[in-house]
Amino acid sequence: MNTVTSRTVVVLAGGISHERDVSLRSGRRVADGLLDRGHTVILREPDATLLSYLESNRPDVVWPALHGASGEDGALRALLDALDITYVGSQSGSSRLAWNKPTAKVIVARAGFSTPESITLPRDTFRELGSAQVLDRVASQFGTDLVVKPAQGGSAQGVSMVADTDDLRRGVVEAYTYGDVALIERRISGTEISVGIIDTGDGPFALPAVEIEPRLGVYGYDARYNAGETRFFTPARLSPEITELAQSTALSIHNTLALRHISRVDLIIDDDGVVWFLEANVLPGLTETSLVPQAIQAAGLNLGEVYEALGEKAIADASV
């Protein structure tokens, strides 16, 4: 990743999603890395003036550091495509599919990968069929060792670990505060890891796996973004064989979901060495405590150079 021509880059951060604060931190880190590489960087919010600004000024590339629906559901990316604006990251259709966790699970399962058994529960179904009846049937089918999460969203917001029927009810209600659809999954015990995928010009490749060990046992929002709440091991404390399997699985899932440039695939390795897919992140966190930056540095790469190379890859793809 050699020095390239100085570019004008618009970094998008903030927005109105639940993950606004995380996005602002990610955007600042990306902007700083690009500034260190000598690029002209404009850090902007996705507001009502953005599209006209981009159309009038036409930067070399847009670097979205937007988490949550405002950046990962595909809508903004479709508008950038309509304006013929080059941007880093997955295209709109792939983003939309990966952003929806139940949809991504179906695609990945059909490709032959393991993912926890689950049920998708819209709020309207929960109300119309009677919450008590619905939860009784869910508990009967899946037991109560479960994870409940919003069907869309990130940063572990609205995610609950369930141990009994009271937890299940609270977890579903909590998930509905972040969206209209809850995903209820059977909980898999094992080693939680995350594998970043980047493409800096020679095709996508897996970064070192990051093992996640939360101090309180749950990798929730505070554990993700408050220093000291989680121990990270990069590379993960796995055997070489399991490490290779996890990385190849993550890379295959990245390709199966037709993601591009950068993504993060979250996995759990059970005691039998089975790799379970949890979810894929279209734009992973890039804050000072986030997993992909840790993995980039563990691979011996410079963050600013990687962010620059991802921009160059986006420009190269747009010219094809």
Q: Annotated binding residues, as ranges?
A: 266, 279, 281
Residue 305 annotated to the active site: no
**Beta strands in 163-292, from DSSP E residues, in sequence order:** 181-186, 191-198, 205-206, 210-214, 230-233, 262-269, 275-281
Helices (H), the chain: 20-36, 50-57, 69-72, 75-82, 92-99, 101-110, 123-128, 131-142, 165-176, 221-225, 240-256, 291-298, 303-318
Gap between the Cα atoms of 114 and 266, Å rounded: 12
Catalytic pick among 70, 92, 94, 290? 290
CA distance 187 to 276: 11
6 among known catalytic residues: no
Catalytic residue among 17, 19, 94, 160: 19
The rounded distance, in Å, linking the Cα atoms of 235 and 297 is: 11
Active site residue 117: no
In angstroms, the CA 20 to CA 160 distance is 21
Say if CB 23 and CB 30 are below 8 A apart: no
**Closest C-alpha among 39, 24, 28 to residue 71:** 24
Q: Which of 26, 155, 160, 194 is catalytic?
A: 155
Residue ranges for the binding site for Mg(2+)? 266, 279, 281
- The answer to whether 83 touches 62, Cβ cutoff 8 Å, is no
CB atoms within 10 A of CB 127: 11
> In the beta sheet, which residues pair with residue 192?
268
What is the rounded distance in angstroms from the CA atom of residue 303 to the CA atom of residue 286?
10
Catalytic residues: 19, 155, 290
